[in-house]
Amino acid sequence: MLKNILKGIQAYAGTFSLINKLGLWKYFAVPMAISFFTALAIGFSAWGLSDNLGAFISKIWFWEWGSETFRTISEFIGALIIIAFGLIIYRHIVMALSAPFMSPVSEKIEKYLFGENHSHRKTSNAEQLWRGVRINVRNLLMELMLTIPIILIGFIPVIGIVSSVLLFLVQSYYAGFGNMDYTLERHYKYSESIQFVRRNRGLAIGNGIVFMLMLLIPVVGIILVLPLSVTAASTETLKVLEKAKSVQKKL
């Protein structure tokens, strides 16, 4: 697991040069715009809703003493909750809508790494979009099921620190999952792709860790996160697929 996480992280090295070499920036223009405007919309929503959620949480404190302090803490907690769910929704919206633009990127990388003679499923833009929506709706529901109890655990003193790490790893896994599926879409059916990512969850987490950290970089991170993460995920996913093909041929 740890070895694959490191592979997923190291795959980002050289992504800029590969994108430039293969002329892939044109495919990222629309996804980068989707990413920017989605982040902007969710950011403004989070700004407005955090105070309301903080006020709701503060009602738990019935006593007069310490009410101001608890109100301040509640607003901070409310902001964290909004940011956590905002990041989840942001990722899945952007990944679902970007699917038709990402498949050609992955295919060009595959041709560059393994030549023109490679087989894969042929799908239309509409099919790619539907696949992206289906995968991301599924992942969104799964991620929310894990995120809600993790956030609740965060209210427990000391253990709350562990919950922050778990929350980050869960979000990283599903971010990497989405990036890997742009390649898997051409090779595997829906259920087969889910099984593939489960077997290679370390790669997904590694890819997603850098993805999540890039979102912390104002503006630039939001714009560049998809090109770099998709390129990194494609190269590593294709290597695993090619290795599996080699093993099957030997058998």
Condensed to tens digits (0 to 9), the pLDDT of residues 200-228 reads 999 999 999 999 999 888 888 888 888 99
| CA separation for the pair 62, 83 (Å, rounded) | 27
Mean of all residue pLDDT scores within the chain: 83
* Chain position carrying tokens 């058998």: 251
Q: Who wins on pLDDT, 65 or 246? A: 246
Distances (CA, A) of 10 to 156, 168, 203, 220, 228: 35, 19, 10, 20, 12
Condensed to tens digits (0 to 9), the pLDDT of residues 145-158 reads 998 888 778 767 66
Domain ranges of the chain: 2-245
Q: Who wins on pLDDT, 245 or 203? A: 203
Condensed to tens digits (0 to 9), the pLDDT of residues 17-53 reads 999 999 999 988 888 888 888 888 877 777 766 666 6
8 A C-beta contact, residue 234 and residue 182: yes
Q: Who wins on pLDDT, 175 or 118? A: 175
Condensed to tens digits (0 to 9), the pLDDT of residues 47-78 reads 766 666 656 666 665 655 556 665 666 666 66
Q: What is the per-residue pLDDT for 117? A: 66
Angle at 36 between CA 238 and CA 176, to 5 degrees: 30
Residue 172, pLDDT > 90, answer yes
Supply the pTM of this predicted model.
0.84
8 A C-beta contact, residue 70 and residue 61: yes
Q: Who wins on pLDDT, 65 or 172? A: 172
Q: Which of 209, 15, 173 is nearest to 181 (CA)?
A: 173
Residue 1, pLDDT > 70, answer yes
Residue 247, pLDDT > 60, answer no
Distance, first Cα to last Cα, the chain: 26
* Chain position carrying tokens 């044109």: 26
8 A C-beta contact, residue 39 and residue 87: no
For residue 200, the SS3 value is: coil
